[in-house]
A = this chain, B = another copy of it.
């Protein structure tokens, strides 16, 4: 599949029948995952709060992780060294361990493995990686996933809006900064990583209302502000919308506001994810850059392995 086909694959991924299987009893959840795989866990951690959920993006897991912990190790390739090491530690500690992967070494170290189809860039498998969390904890309604699929397909057919935005950003040589808000804080981070990997742009994310306590200060008349493009998302509660409007006014900063499409939280989440996919994809094309290629990450892994 070429990269555009991978992006378009998302609408079928969300309909795939993937879950974590029978859930054991647990009092907390620890998720280990890096980059595009870890983001699935982070997005889940923001919309599920019946028990404490901690996502670790590192080699280590917290001390409290033990027999009452549901540990979920997630690595699309199955060969992420941080996630493998964290998962091995979770097994040693007696956590209830579930692993999500398309294969690789991760599939061999545990017994309870949820397999997802391989062959994609990890970041383009976000549907496959989110689905086990969503169907096991949030919703398993086929109708809901059909609706999401329809929303994504509509964007696959028409993403002119994203293309126009991409042209503006490249023309002005801007660095994107995404201001999320609950429950879209990790969508903002997903956008940041898509700008990094697809567009090969630096990019950052933070969120309302926290940014009103620090980043708002330099938004008024700092040097370098003209090098950035600031995004906000729609579907905010009144208290946050008010903050967005006032922040923009008193700092004289334009925010590019991306409205959500959809009726439910899941529909809106996937809409915003896909919006960032296309925006970062079009930026790459505008820059005459291959959106798929991330050779440097492979190179780094080889150098780390001493090759």
In the complex, are the beta carbons of A60 and B197 less than 8 A apart? Answer: no
A214:B35 contact, CB within 8 angstroms? yes
CB neighbours (8 Å) of A228 from chain B are 202
With a cutoff of 8 Å between Cβ atoms, the chain B residues found around residue A64 in the complex are: 49-52
Nearest residue in B to A251 (C-beta to C-beta)? B296
A214–B193 CB distance below 8 A: yes
Residues from chain B with Cβ under 8 Å of A247 in the complex: 300
Cβ B36 vs Cβ A182 within 8 A: no
Q: What is the 8 Å Cβ interface bit string for chain A, positions 214-234, against chain B (1 contact, 0 not)? A: 111111111111011000000
> Which stretch of A109-117, A159-167, A204-212, A262-270 is in the interface?
A204-212
Measured between C-beta atoms, what is the minimum distance from A284 to chain B in Å?
11
Question: Does A88 reach chain B (CB closer than 8 Å)?
Answer: no
Is residue A57 within 8 Å, beta carbon to beta carbon, of the partner chain? yes
List of B residues within 8 angstroms of A210 by Cβ: 34-35, 38, 57-58
A159-203 residues with Cβ-Cβ distance < 8 A to B are 173, 175, 177, 182, 192-193, 195-197, 199-203
Given contacts A213-B36, A214-B193, A242-B304, contact A52 B50 (CB under 8 A): no
Could you say which residues of chain B place their CB within 8 Å of the CB of A57?
A: 207, 209-210
What is the distance, in angstroms, from A19's C-beta to the closest C-beta of chain B? 22
Q: Which residues of B contact A218 (CB under 8 A)?
A: 195-196, 199-203
With A and B bound together, what is the CA distance between A214 and B199 in angstroms? 11
Q: Which B residue sits closest to A223, measured CB to CB?
A: B173
Q: Decide: A303 and B250 in contact? CB cutoff 8 A.
A: yes
Q: For the side of the interface on A, what is the size category?
A: 35 or more
Report the Cα distance A215→B192, complex, angstroms. 9
C-alpha gap A210/B33 in the complex (Å): 9
Tell me if A24 is interfacial: C-beta within 8 Å of chain B.
no
Question: Most chain-B CB neighbours within 10 Å: which of A54, A213, A300?
Answer: A213
* Pairwise interchain contact B209-A222, C-beta atoms closer than 8 A: no
Q: Bound complex: CA of A203 vs CA of B219, how far in Å?
A: 11
Minimum C-beta distance from A205 to chain B (A)? 9
A246 & B304 in contact (Cβ 8 Å cutoff):
yes
Known contacts A192-B214, A215-B196; is-contact A246 B51 (Cβ 8 Å): no
**For A294, what are the chain B residues with a Cβ–Cβ distance below 8 Å?**
217
- A140 located at the interface, meaning its Cβ lies under 8 Å from any Cβ of chain B in the complex: no
Q: Which among B50, B213, B221, B246 is the interface contact of A303 at CB below 8 angstroms?
A: B246
In this assembly, does A3 line the interface, its C-beta being within 8 Å of a C-beta of chain B? no
Complex Cα–Cα for A28 and B297 (A): 37
List 13 additional A-B contacts (Cβ < 8 Å) besides A57-B207, A227-B227, A250-B296. A28-B28, A28-B52, A38-B210, A38-B213, A49-B62, A50-B64, A54-B54, A82-B209, A175-B227, A196-B214, A199-B218, A200-B220, A217-B294
- 9 closest residue pairs by CB, A with B: A35-B213, A52-B52, A49-B62, A193-B214, A196-B214, A204-B204, A57-B210, A49-B63, A246-B303
